[in-house]
Structure 1
Amino acid sequence: MKGGGGGVGPAKRRWTGLAFGVLFLVVLSMLVPLGFLLGLHNGFHSPGFVPLQRNSPSGVRTRHVDNLVRKLGPTLPKEILKHIVHEAKNETSSTNATHKSHQKKGIPIPPQVVMQPPSNKNVRKDSGKAGMESGFNGSVELCELKYGSYCIWQEENREDMKDSTVKKLKDQLFVARAYFPSVAKMPAQNKLSRELKQNIQELERILSESTADADLPPGIQKKSARMEAAIARAKSVTADCNNVDKKLRQIFDLTEDEANFHMKQSAFLYQLAVQTMPKSHHCLYMRLTIEYFRYDSFDKELTEKFSDPTLQHYVIFSSNVIASSVVINSTVMHAKDSTNQVFHVLTDGQNYYAMKYWFLRNTFKDAVVQVLNIEQLILDYTNKTTLSHLNSPLEFRISFHNSRKTPAIHNRTQYISIFSHSHYLLPEVFKNLEKIVVLDDDVVVQQDLSTLWKLNMGQKPMGAVQICPVRLGQLQSYLGRSSFNENSCSWMSGLNVIDLVRWRELGISETYWKLVKKVGVKEESSVLASMLTFQDLIYTLDSEWILSGLGHDYGISIQSIKKAAVLHYNGNMKPWLELGIPKYKAYWKRFLNRKNHFLNECNVNP
């Protein structure tokens, strides 16, 4: 028994040790998962293992935003980048709050999705919105800093856009042309390419026939919607931005060149309309010329009045029948006594007979009108002049800086009109006269001018209104290096009182022609010769005698117009042209006999 018991003891101890070992392994196998479940695995990472922080997505989003800013930084404005970063931070904070609320409620957290950069469409939308907000919704100061007072003016003068549908179609056509080349190169986008091409051709056809909303065909809104949808699809296609950018720049350059071309063309056509005789006026001159040779028995001149120095003599240089007629009619209508008034119209050979017939058939109270052919008079003075035709008063537009430091937008523009070469024939054409008043053919007289013959001009040969804002020193480019007083004021033609006796004594015409001989017989030389010839020889008339600028200045007040004795329509927009300023035309038209049958037959209606 003992021997058998002694043999069994060691075997039991071995089995007991194995049992404890198995039990330890079982307990260990239960503790390890328990440790992982309790989060103790954070201290036992293997090399290269990065834990997934499901509860803190802000780190991933922040890094992505930084990368996005670095990539888009060179191309996008700072305002847009700030908008994107601010939007990402807001989304991150809202996401974190959502996660925390889900954790409290026991809701399982979905796997995180990496934030994608916004598409080009979204960026453009955000940038446009930001621009509108900065320009109009409370940030006018920033807009004003960049664009000056334009932003304030735009707010105060906002008007409804005219022909907005046509402008919208042009914008759609512009964008579609930019995207079409890139889309057309993609084989997978053949359908979209055909759709874009068809819409582009259709809009080009419509816009070639329609320039206003009223001209657009019915159903245009549906066509615009189809184009808008095609453009939206083209924007969503992943395309090479460089190609789109190049195409946009090409279209922009072509559009800019086209705009410059039309600008130059419009300026040329404007000058052409100013300098070309209207068709109705040409018809009038032809009719009057024919009638003159048909009824030349009317040609009776009162030579005794034309050379009487005791009468009031007015001289007009003009080749325009109705313009000179308005000058004479307005002068006679406001005269206290028209019996002493004599008008001398100096015109060219082409319009001489039309002018002569017009003034023979039309009477102006008791005043008389003499029409002279300047070309015939020039032939009598060929030894002193090199003229060959009539030179009307010359007009120049002069622009200059107020100072060297002021920007170009502060440039001042002045229009001056001066005597032409023909004016210096006056002392010899009217040898028997002592005093005359020279009127330009673009003036309207509103008061009696008889007091001009009572002026005591001293030893001055001519009276004129001076323009002291334009001094001779500011005309250096015209006057050259000649010696003159830089502070002397320039003077204007339009209404000029001339003492022919004093003119002859001082040899004004001879001085003028000597100066002209040095620089040549060009129109520009008249500025130099006239200004230097009459330097310190001008008797200054009161500024209320004549009001200039009605042919170019829109800002003249009605009070100034009513107060002036003479209105001067100097500038390109003459009252007998369609280009004339409408609100000033009424003062000129009231002295035109629109019931004349020649005017009606030729449709002369300024």
Structure 2
Amino acid sequence: MEATIAKSKSVTMDCHNVDKKLRQIFDLTEDEANFHMKQSAFLYQLAVQTMPKSQHCLSMRLTVEYFRDDSFDQELPVKYSDPTLQHYVIFSTNVIASTVVINSTVMHARDSMNQVFHVLTNGQNYYAMKHWFLGNTFKDAVVEVLNIDPFIPDYYDKTTPSHLNLPTEFRVSFHGINNASAMHSRTQYISIFSHSHYLLPEIFKNLEKVVVLDDDIVVQQDLSTLWSLNMGQKVMGAIQICSVRLGQVRSYLGESSFHKNSCTWMSGLNVIDLARWRKLGISETYWKLVKEVSKKEGSAALASLLTFQDLIYALDNDWVLSGLGHDYGLSTQSIKKAAVLHYNGNMKPWLELGIPKYKKIEGSRGTKVLTILTLS
């Protein structure tokens, strides 16, 4: 210690150099902040420009038409709550995207008579969605549009948003080992449940099982076999990503307790046992975890990963192919083989910046299941 102190005293400090160095650090920080501000403005402008102009006013036009139409009170309440039918849930504010999901699911179903779709949207888009789906038919399937706003409880604390939340897309970066020799950085896009998903047991009190579909997927095969899955004591069936384990994203999870070898999981196609969900108090566990990680970026995603730890039934990977919204390298064979295509990522198929070769996919029956609609 004496030697260290003596050495430090022997080094003369030039205040001018220290001041110069601090000013350089300040300038670099300011330049970086300006760069991120300009990048944010550019990306916002890009998102506005790439959205088809016809979709900007679509919701307003449909809302006006809803109140002009005298036949908008058509309802099928018995089918909507019949637990013996196949119930699909879609959280969405995009009428075109949700239509593609429903249409592709019905198109490839062996029997659409038993299919019931529940589109959960917010008050702003409720009447537009309702008018659209009342005016369009999907074989023998029925579609119910629900406004989620009245279902959002008012007894949660201020960390809980009081509006509809769509699935959270969470990008994680971590270091991996390539050929056990060199370290390299990896980035993985993970789509996880949002706050709104944890209202499912309250919204569908008469149902014991539902299949949740994201609004950025396209179905290529019949999904009816999902209803005969025996998930044992698990709460949810989902695609697991074992290339990303919780231990690899430790920096995102903070001090929460977790099994480092547990695989992460994806939303997109999820089979949910609502009866077991209620029994285990999954929603209560989630909100408790949200409070613990509320100060972290992506708190909903982190809480979801921890909530369903050891409660995931791993679906076969052939069920869902993810990455069509960011990965240019997916093979044609894997696309044709998948039952569901998931366009997770920033390049959604309804945007001009969507990956062109993924915008129109030939389905397993030789039918185009995705078309970017242009409404005049």
Q: What is the TM-score with the length of structure 1 in the denominator? A: 0.53
Change (3 A) 1:413 1:459: same
Provide the C-alpha distance between the structure 2 equivalents of 1:391 and 1:579, rounded to a whole number of angstroms: 23
Match 1:360 to one of 134, 157, 177: 134
Within-5 A mapping of 1:32-47: none
Secondary structure, in 3 states, of the residue corresponding to 1:290? helix
- The answer to whether structure 1 residue 459 and structure 2 residue 233 are counterparts is yes
Secondary structure, in 3 states, of the residue corresponding to 1:416? strand
Secondary structure, in 3 states, of the residue corresponding to 2:71? helix
Give 1 or 2: higher strand fraction.
2
Within-5 A mapping of 1:563-574: 563-574=337-348
Q: Which residue matches 1:383? A: 155
Match 2:356 to one of 550, 573, 582: 582
Whether the aligned pair in 1 keeps the contact of 2:88 and 2:210 (CA below 8 Å) is yes
Offset at residue 435 of structure 1 (A): 0.4
Provide the C-alpha distance between the structure 2 equivalents of 1:553 and 1:273, rounded to a whole number of angstroms: 20
Q: Which residue matches 1:113? A: none
Name the % identity: 72
Whether the aligned pair in 1 keeps the contact of 2:349 and 2:372 (CA below 8 Å) is no
CA deviation map 1:162-181 (0-9, x unaligned): xxxxxxxxxxxxxxxxxxxx
Offset at residue 305 of structure 1 (A): 0.4
Change (3 A) 1:523 1:433: farther
Unaligned runs of 5+ in 2: 1-30
Provide the C-alpha distance between the structure 1 equivalents of 2:250 and 2:244, rounded to a whole number of angstroms: 11
RMSD (CA atoms): 2.6
Change (3 A) 1:311 1:496: same
Match 1:397 to one of 166, 171, 179: 171
Provide the C-alpha distance between the structure 1 equivalents of 2:221 and 2:279, rounded to a whole number of angstroms: 32
CA deviation map 1:468-523 (0-9, x unaligned): 01100111121101111001000000000000001011110011111112333877
Match 2:82 to one of 302, 308, 325: 308
Change (3 A) 1:393 1:433: same
Q: In the alignment, residue 332 of structure 1 is paired with which amino acid?
A: V
Q: Which residue matches 2:375? A: 600
Q: In the alignment, residue 571 of structure 1 is paired with which amino acid?
A: G
Provide the C-alpha distance between the structure 2 equivalents of 1:352 and 1:521, rounded to a whole number of angstroms: 32
Within-5 A mapping of 1:174-573: 265=38, 268-274=41-47, 278-378=52-152, 381-384=153-156, 386-403=160-177, 406=182, 410-520=184-294, 524-573=298-347
Q: In the alignment, residue 314 of structure 2 is paired with which amino acid?
A: T
Offset at residue 275 of structure 1 (A): 7.3
Secondary structure, in 3 states, of the residue corresponding to 2:84? coil
Whether the aligned pair in 2 keeps the contact of 1:420 and 1:523 (CA below 8 Å) is no
Whether the aligned pair in 2 keeps the contact of 1:594 and 1:600 (CA below 8 Å) is no
Whether the aligned pair in 2 keeps the contact of 1:274 and 1:572 (CA below 8 Å) is no
Whether the aligned pair in 1 keeps the contact of 2:117 and 2:143 (CA below 8 Å) is yes
Change (3 A) 1:263 1:478: closer
Which structure ranks higher in relative contact order (CA pairs < 8 Å, sequence separation ≥ 6)? 2
Secondary structure, in 3 states, of the residue corresponding to 1:424? helix
Offset at residue 528 of structure 1 (A): 2.2
Q: In the alignment, residue 600 of structure 1 is paired with which amino acid?
A: L
Q: Which residue matches 2:25? A: none
Whether the aligned pair in 1 keeps the contact of 2:246 and 2:261 (CA below 8 Å) is yes
- Larger-gyration structure (1/2): 1
Whether the aligned pair in 1 keeps the contact of 2:360 and 2:369 (CA below 8 Å) is no
Offset at residue 269 of structure 1 (A): 2.2
Whether the aligned pair in 1 keeps the contact of 2:218 and 2:370 (CA below 8 Å) is no
Q: In the alignment, residue 375 of structure 1 is paired with which amino acid?
A: D
Unaligned runs of 5+ in 1: 1-257, 602-606
Give 1 or 2: higher helix fraction.
1
Offset at residue 349 of structure 1 (A): 1.0
Provide the C-alpha distance between the structure 2 equivalents of 1:398 and 1:362, rounded to a whole number of angstroms: 40
Secondary structure, in 3 states, of the residue corresponding to 1:580? coil
Whether the aligned pair in 2 keeps the contact of 1:325 and 1:592 (CA below 8 Å) is no
CA deviation map 1:539-580 (0-9, x unaligned): 000000000000000000000000000000000000000010
